[in-house]
Structure 1
Amino acid sequence: MPETEDPLPPLRDVIRDYDLRASKVLGQNFILDLNLTRRIARTAGQSGSSPLNKILEIGPGPGGLTRGLLMESADHVTVIEADERFRPALEDISKAYPEKLSVVMGDALKINPNEIFEGGYKIVANLPYNIATPLLIKWLSQSPIRWDSLTLMFQKEVAQRICAQPGDDAYGRLAVLSNWLADTTIEFDISADVFVPPPKVTSTIVTLVPREQPLAEADLSILEKVTAAAFGQRRKMLRASLKQITPEAESILLACNIDPTRRAETLTIEEFCALSRALKEYL
């Protein structure tokens, strides 16, 4: 992929000139290293089935990742930013890359990406930590899924929960939902000292590529409720944790060829899907 020379001033100068300070309330942490943001962009370009064509970025802030995507020759980037303070810096990027950047001011949790794009698109984002998981669940809940890939930054602990497999300590509801619908990969860690201000945790880049078909048949809303009940009391046997759904939990488990004394973290995604189908009439 050809590189584009960035004509803009260093990000530290942008932050100084526009007096842009990270908001703790909005979960903001800025990446100023364009070599790193370009690496994230290249990772996105290598995921899914399409190159860096139509890109959606959430929470661009002063535009470090935005510039990295454009430097890696993304065809077009649309950013959603809730903080009006960043509008001037984003407008400067738009002027430097004519017809390559669209800025949407608003709350990403309230915006449906399918209404922005025709056809497929990639989502690439250094997500604000306080809305990262709700946004992921929102995108996984699309029907049908139209994104070609997600390349997202999470706290390392959350990244491990997304990509965990049955039997792993981190395996839980988020892993079941994510891996039911997508292939998940931990790409690389990012140390706290590359951020301004530095967070107290290590961050991790994760990619998700949607499966052609979910791993097994299930209704998303039912699967969410079953996994919430099962993992909500993860130290209990399933015959106990699922009693909140129905007192017949033990017999239903047996009918699904699942030992009622097993615990949630041992079940495969396919077994959770079978349970969801069996428990549908109770939810």
Structure 2
Amino acid sequence: MTHPEPLLHLPPLREVIAAHGLSASKALGQNFILDEQLLGRIAKVPGSLKGERVYEVGPGPGGLTRALLRAGAEVVAVERDRRCLVPLGALCEASGGRLRVIEGDALEIDEATRIGPAHIVANLPYNVGTALLVRWLGGEAWPPWWRSLTLMFQLEVAERIVAAPNSGAYGRLAVLAQWRSAARIAMKVHRSAFVPPPKVMSAVVHITPAPAPDGVAPAMMERLTAAAFGQRRKMLRRSLQPVPGALDALARLGIDSARRAETLAVSDFIAIARLLGSA
């Protein structure tokens, strides 16, 4: 185990940002967190990370990265902002080999091959956060390559992930997050914790894989929810019409086709997708 001393004597994040002339890029969806106590709390959400591999997307100047390293993790971070590579390089040296930085776009990385089994912990760039989450929740392989997700989102998005049926926030994201995973809001984060402060509150969501229901094809679940919530104000008899067999499945399950998608429980979508198979 690397001696933690170099990590204990790093310059404050504000000094690092000033020294390298960094500022959060709106185009990249960046908002930096400088409060090291808060970053330490986020790093504790997945549980003990000592000796665990962690994948971080968009480390920026490395605030959360420091917290993860101090928690004993082996960190692989992907960063597309070249301005941040120099301060991250200094952090690599201080980590004693426990930090590897990949320059690139997280949306284009073959994570299962390049990262391998890992906990994902990230203050996600706002402009790609939902796209990354949908990708991590999807796919045929289950359990997935990731062991848990600890992710910062705008509060509105976080509430959509954990929402229950018959609520305004309930939609496709909730079903995709909950049909074979367990999702919860681990903490809310005030906008003042960020530099620059965003216009909205944020929250950390923690997601862990659960056993996948038998006989349900992920591709069908994705297709079904896309249709059902694509026109969420329409009745199911209209919104599910493009999905072959869906209306017959509703009838067999005793689900009124005059209902709207937001009234169906996750278990209802599982039952419909199971009847539809992989069609």
1:139 maps to a residue whose letter is W
Contact 2:50 2:71 in 1 (8 A): no
Contact 1:180 1:216 in 2 (8 A): no
Contact 1:155 1:203 in 2 (8 A): yes
| RMSD of aligned alpha carbons | 2.0
Equivalent residues in 2 for 1:75-86, closer than 5 Å: 76-86=74-84
Task: Name 2:160's counterpart in structure 1.
Answer: 161
Residue 60 (structure 2) pairs with residue 61 (structure 1): yes
Task: Name 1:223's counterpart in structure 2.
Answer: 221
Contact 1:78 1:101 in 2 (8 A): yes
Question: The residue matched to 1:130 in structure 2 has which SS?
Answer: coil
Q: CA shift at 1:273, angstroms?
A: 2.1
Equivalent residues in 2 for 1:112-131, closer than 5 Å: 112-118=110-116, 120-131=117-128
Task: Name 2:174's counterpart in structure 1.
Answer: 175
Aligned pair in 2 of structure 1 residues 137, 77: CA closer, same or farther (>3 Å)?
same
Match of 1:31 among 22, 30, 33: 33
Equivalent residues in 2 for 1:1-283, closer than 5 Å: 6-45=8-47, 53-74=52-73, 76-118=74-116, 120-142=117-139, 143-144=141-142, 145-211=144-210, 213-215=211-213, 217-246=215-244, 250-279=247-276
Q: CA shift at 1:194, angstroms?
A: 1.1
Contact 1:3 1:72 in 2 (8 A): no
Q: Could you tell me how far apart the structure 1 residues matched to 2:31 and 2:206 are?
A: 20
Q: Could you tell me how far apart the structure 1 residues matched to 2:214 and 2:159 are?
A: 22
- Matched residues, number: 274
State which drifts further: 213-222 or 263-272. 213-222
Deviations 1:121-155 (A, max 9, x none): 10000000110011011111241302111000001
- What are the ranges of 5 or more consecutive residues in structure 2 without an aligned counterpart? none
Question: The residue matched to 2:222 in structure 1 has which SS?
Answer: helix
Q: Could you tell me how far apart the structure 2 residues matched to 1:14 and 1:222 are?
A: 47
Q: Could you tell me how far apart the structure 1 residues matched to 2:215 and 2:235 are?
A: 24
Q: TM-score under structure 1 normalisation? A: 0.90
Q: CA shift at 1:112, angstroms?
A: 2.2
Aligned pair in 2 of structure 1 residues 131, 34: CA closer, same or farther (>3 Å)?
same
Contact 1:153 1:203 in 2 (8 A): yes
Aligned pair in 2 of structure 1 residues 126, 231: CA closer, same or farther (>3 Å)?
same
Q: CA shift at 1:41, angstroms?
A: 0.3
Contact 2:55 2:115 in 1 (8 A): no
2:30 maps to a residue whose letter is Q
Contact 2:148 2:207 in 1 (8 A): yes
Q: Could you tell me how far apart the structure 2 residues matched to 1:97 and 1:90 are?
A: 10
Aligned pair in 2 of structure 1 residues 255, 25: CA closer, same or farther (>3 Å)?
same
Q: CA shift at 1:216, angstroms?
A: 5.2
Q: Could you tell me how far apart the structure 1 residues matched to 2:187 and 2:207 are?
A: 14
Aligned pair in 2 of structure 1 residues 83, 263: CA closer, same or farther (>3 Å)?
same
Contact 2:13 2:63 in 1 (8 A): yes
Contact 1:45 1:51 in 2 (8 A): no
Question: The residue matched to 1:87 in structure 2 has which SS?
Answer: helix
Q: CA shift at 1:239, angstroms?
A: 1.3
1:11 maps to a residue whose letter is L
Q: Could you tell me how far apart the structure 2 residues matched to 1:64 and 1:231 are?
A: 37
Q: CA shift at 1:73, angstroms?
A: 2.2
